[in-house]
Amino acid sequence: MFLNYEFPPIGGGAANANYYLLKEYSKISDIKIDLVTSSIDAFSKEKFSKDINIFRLNVNKKDLHYWRLREIIRYIIKSTIFSKKLIKKEKYNLIHAFFGFPCGVTAYYLKKTRKIPYMVSLRGSDVPGFNERFNFIYSALKPILKVVWKNADFVIANSEKFKNFAKAIKSDQKILVISNGVDVNEFKPKKKIKNRVLTVSRLIPRKGIEYLIKSIPFIKDKINDFEVVIIGDGPLLNDLKKLARSLRINNYVRFLGRVPHEKISDYYSESYCYVQPSLHEGMSNSLLEAIASGLPAIVTDTGGTKELVDETNGFIIGKHNERDIANALIKLFKNRNLRDKMGRNSRKKAMLYSWSSVAEAYLDCYRRML
């Protein structure tokens, strides 16, 4: 059984990671999986593949990318009740919970009441201190997470830096690292069409998109023909549009909102470079997709970015720093040879992170649990 309160179209990186893991496991005939996730509105059941079912629970979701505490609590309650019903019909060997909270709480309950072992994949905001928006509940959450982690067979982080960040919770449980992956056949270099800067992100404070927008006035004085494309939705969308208007740079930036994942690869491959100005990150799926598409990357030093980007394929900049973003972009715009060389190096790095290898690493954990 998989537990993940986010699954496309709901959620971001963890949702996409879950999708690609299921895609890999659908190729293996002796693996059967039921995923218990959230719906946009009503309960539904769908077939992902012959042996993989997706159950979507109605948690009265109001926004695809923004979670309210009451929605999270509803998922805990409904996933626990529904999973108990599934367990009466099916024999599950183990539970893979994405996020220590809320999904780990459900997994912990099922282990205690139904004796099913579980593992937890840490994804970001489920670790105290990662997301400032949840600071008011982290003090209450920390003792719960310690119990959830302690009783898990495995606790998995998606980068070394995120693992070290998570260790600050001082749980007794050892934390392993299994990185995110990327489909290198879906995301690959193609012919560029213009000086396009791309970012793909939920529009929330910790993603730092405002600093990318604030960098544009410094760039346009040096570079005439370019555009910044922002893909994603979230509570800051209107504020970011207002910021662009106030800076009088509307003709340089395009907000595309949410783009279906199956259509997003073209935006990567047609862009010249990728910017990720996050304040906190685990290992970003969108960054992996960008480097697989052969893009130089401009990133902040957070989470697993240094495992994906160095001086050979991009720039690591300071947080809260639009000047650094502008300087890096100007260098790339003015030096095509540098841009092309970094793009080739990005592609080489991405080839080390295929979803098949990630799925196999998780399979090894599953076997050890059994």
Q: Do domains 2-181+354-369 and 196-350 have the same CATH topology?
A: yes
Domain residue ranges in the chain: 2-181+354-369, 196-350
96 pLDDT above the threshold of 90? yes
- Cα 140 to its chain centre, rounded Å, is 25
Three-state DSSP state, 56: strand
Map residue 175 onto helix, strand or coil: strand
| 140, two tokens | 């209450």
Share of the chain above pLDDT 90, in %: 71
Q: pLDDT tens across 57-76, in order?
A: 999 998 877 788 899 999 99
Q: What is the DSSP string of 99-163?
A: STTTHHHHHHHHHHHH---EEEE--STTSTTS-GGGHHHHHHHHHHHHHHHHT-SEEEESSHHHH
- What's the CATH number for 2-181+354-369? 3.40.50.2000
- In the prediction, which pLDDT does 130 show? 63
Is it true that domain 196-350 has CATH number 3.40.50.300?
A: no
Whole-number pLDDT of residue 181: 92
- Residue 53's pLDDT band, with cuts at 50, 70 and 90, is very high
Q: Virtual CA dihedral for 122, 268, 244, 68, nearest 10 degrees?
A: -30
Alpha helices in 167-304 (DSSP H): 209-220, 237-246, 265-269, 285-292
Least confident of 71-80, 107-116, 158-167, 215-224: 158-167
Beta strands in the chain (DSSP E): 2-3, 33-38, 44-49, 52-57, 95-98, 118-121, 154-157, 175-177, 196-200, 227-231, 253-257, 273-276, 297-300, 314-317
Residues paired with 2 in a beta bridge: 35, 96
CA distances from 259 to 7, 31, 165, 298 (A): 15, 31, 31, 22
**Cβ 59 vs Cβ 74: under 8 Å:** yes
**Quick one: CA dihedral 149, 150, 151, 152, positive or negative?**
positive
In this predicted model, what pLDDT tens digit does every residue of 217-255 receive, in sequence order? 999 989 988 999 999 998 999 999 999 999 999 999 999
**Residue that wins the pLDDT comparison between 127 and 120:** 120
Q: Which residues are CB-neighbours of 227 under 8 A, at least 6 positions away?
A: 194, 195, 196, 197, 252, 253, 254
